[in-house]
Amino acid sequence: MAVLVTGGAGYIGAHAVLALLDAGEAVVVLDDLSTGVRPMVPEGVPLVVGDVANSALVTRVVGEHGVKEVMHFAAKIVVPESVADPLGYYDANTMKTRALLAAALAAGVERFVFSSTAAVYGEPDLAIIDEDAPPAPINPYGRSKLMSEWMIRDAAAAHGLDYAILRYFNVAGADPKGRAGQSATNATHLIKVASQAALGLRPALSIYGTDYATPDGTCLRDYIQVTDLADAHLAALRNLRERGGRHTFNCGYGRGASVREVVETVKRISGIDFPVAEAPRRAGDPAALVADATRIRETLAWEPRFADLDTIVAQALAWERRLGNGAEPVRATG
């Protein structure tokens, strides 16, 4: 019995694949490679290139690999892009999740772990956000994910599906063993972009908005290391196997770092004072998003191993150096 990982050739999905393999799980990846990178899928792991909305394909993969569990990562994730192309985001994130759910349920899938986002909260008035905060997304990306959450909940109530919805805050870093990292050519993650600027792969870094109601005027975010996040998915899946249920979890560390703090950390760790320019705010960016992660820690006994900004930045820099040298990811199975 294999776990189906959609988007398993992408940044977070690839790290989830590694966590599953390290735990001795069988895995099959479904990815259309629109943003995913084929070498991110370890050798020996079946990679099916295709669309999660292709019901016939999903039915075949589930049947051939004995799939009873799905981890669904495939999505579009860039907030400003969602503002410019809302219908594209509702298609990729909402309609395709609906098609995947329908095919998975019809084929007998019993457990579903969903990649959601803190963007569903919008701009809450809380300094620290727990899962009971009312969702009020301010951009199409967040709305597309919230709609998917609603569908999962309704489908679970109707069909007996067990699920875990994981709302990520800001994901960063790379696999400590160098097997995976952020490889998309058009990535917008701050730590990746700053690392590229430090290594001369970008001419400069732009800070979008310096007039937010935060201590230094720049956006405040809760950065979670990607391997810790992958471990949270594995813990969520194990909990569903052992106890069943329907859960929503925040994934973060409970503390924020501003854009300026991240930039200064990358400069200090890299030893390079790269150019930084100030730019207007981007559409759809909230001022601050910091997680209350009490529920996931208590329910899943999840304990992060890399909850340190210096460590996360050092991992990101090491990965960018590897990519900058033209090397592929280490295609290992564990």
Rg (CA), the chain: 19
Catalytic residue check, 141: yes
Return the amino acid letter for 209.
G
Closest by CA to 213, choosing from 142, 122, 123, 119, is 123
Helix (H, G, I), strand (E, B) or coil at 67: coil
Concatenated DSSP letters of 164-220: EEEEE-EEE---TTSS-----TT---HHHHHHHHHTTSSS-EEEE-S-SSSTTSS-E
Burial class (CB in 10 A: 0-12, 13-18, 19+), 303: exposed
Cα end-to-end span (Å), the chain: 19
Q: How far is residue 310's CA from residue 173's CA, in Å, rounded to a whole number?
A: 10
Catalytic residue among 11, 89, 121, 141: 141
**H or E stretch covering 100:** helix 96-106
Closest by CA to 115, choosing from 161, 186, 168, 64, is 168
Helix (H, G, I), strand (E, B) or coil at 181: coil
Tokens encoding 116: 């959601």
Q: Residue 49: count other Cβ atoms within 10 Å of its Cβ.
A: 13
Helix (H, G, I), strand (E, B) or coil at 116: strand
Q: Give the CA distances from residue 299 to residues 8, 164, 245, 248, in Å, rounded to whole numbers and listed in that order.
A: 26, 12, 12, 11
**Which residues have a catalytic role annotated?**
141
